[in-house]
Structure 1
Amino acid sequence: MSAAVPYTPAGTIHSANIPFNRKRVSPLRIVGTVVGYAVMIAVAAFTLLPFVWMVLSSVKNNNEIFTVPIKWFPEVWHWENYATIWSKANLVVWTKNTVVIAVAVTLLQVFTGSFAAYGFSKIKFAGRDLLFLCYIATIAVPWQAYMIPQFKMLSSWGLSDSLPSIILMQSFSAFGVFMMKQFYDTIPESLSEAARIDGLSEFGIYGRIILPLSGPSIAALGIITFTNAWNEYMQPLLYLRSPELWTIQIGLKSFVGEYSAAYDLIMTGSVLSVLPILVVFLFGQKYFIEGIATSGMKGSA
């Protein structure tokens, strides 16, 4: 008995009637694809290997970390290291200070960067392009070149050895302005012109039209800024002398000096310092990738 053929209405095409794609793929293309994936997997493994070793070392006994040959997995998993380090190091204060700096710097850089980028992209004034070029050129100037005059200036204002000094120094970013301007250039100028004709001010255009369209780029800039502020080491080292103001990077450096032989706790502290960045990126990677992609597009104003 033959199997029943499913009924299909007249005019419809059944999937069985669609011919298979018989286009041949060249062996060279197959080999190239396989080699490409193999190279990407090898590079990813090479990049992640130190982090994996750090995580596994954080739950090892101290004597197991530098055994030869390398012993990847511990005989006994010492999860208590994550509780011990909180009692031996002032992680609560370090983490609180780092969160305050990173969040404040991120909010300020996103606001100042997007606001300045709107002016450079959507407002026409004499010398706009030259001023933008001069401002972007400051990216090439290393911070070490002007850190001493900057330190003297902030010290004369009474901001040395305080969290506001770190926040103020990182509140503006030429990179952030450049990145946001690249995205704003993709927004049609007709939107701004129509809003001006309707009587909307420049502040209104920025807040009610441009910002709502800038979600991916703002997310990308926020993630980059938060990561840089969280990992910043030199500026807190130079400005923050009081232990109660230390960030997690400065605190872990002092912890390494005090417990130089406790490599298990050092690895545990390193893992804890990386986790917030990992969480932020995992939750925002979609917008980060989209923001980076759209900020590199050239639009027609």
Structure 2
Amino acid sequence: MVDKDVIWTFLSTQGMDLGLKLLGALVVWIVGRWVIRIARRLFGAALQRGHKIDPTLTVYMSAVIGVVLNVLLLLVILDIFGVRTTSFAALLAGAGLAIGTAWGGLLTHFAAGVFLQVLRPFRVGDHVSVGGVNGIVKEIGLFGTTLVTGDGITALVGNNKVLSDNIQNFSTLPSRRVDLTAKVDNSVNVREAMDKLREAVAKVPNIAKEPRPDVEILQFTPEGPLLAVRPYAHTDNYWQVYFDTNRAIADTFAAAGYPVPEVRTAQRMIQDPPISAASPGKA
């Protein structure tokens, strides 16, 4: 059972000091967090205005500054309670192996994030496919890369997975190819159909002038030639060009009166063999 006299003696002798320390630590935490937010904002703004540094590196450096300042804030609060910096450093050194084992995965992601900043395979705002996720890069953080997918989902991919897997950047080159097909019936003049398609596709908004759209015979099928229709467009206009080109194919073939290719299956009539007059079994 707890002795009330011991509690009263503790409160009367050290309670005031402990209360002041708790109050001081709370004030330092609130003020420190506010200062850190202001410092990160000013640091990011200074990098963007003064040196015109890429936003990808600006966000990453701002995150690093935030981590460093938060560690310093923690050391200040510990110092208020009498835990000296040297003692804290010795404690971290003693627990280094355990922390390294538990946080090994995070450290690999952190190291991969550093390499992503050095190698720069993509930047904030690029359309990429990394770690099995396809989307727009929103942020390259200390431990993960944030993407916004085409269907409006925010995905966080670990930096180590990003760096160790295939990286496809759709924004590096000025344009990308849109792959479509169109099948014409065997009764249609294929050269005429190709010329009409070239003229129609060239009028699709936002297609790239160079390279010019390709309309060629991809392969032959029993129903008729299969045409490859391949305009080029910037990544920002990819799906608009994709859908508009499909619409141009349908409108062109409809205006020309081309029949819809139909699958023709060969049928063979099987007749019973003629019955001989002297068939077996008859007298």
TM-score of Structure 1 vs Structure 2, range by shorter chain: under 0.3
Q: Which has the larger radius of gyration?
A: 2
Bigger helix fraction: 1
Specify which structure has the bigger relative contact order, considering alpha-carbon pairs within 8 angstroms and separated by 6 or more residues.
Answer: 1
Q: TM-score, normalised by structure 1?
A: 0.23
Q: TM-score, normalised by structure 2?
A: 0.24
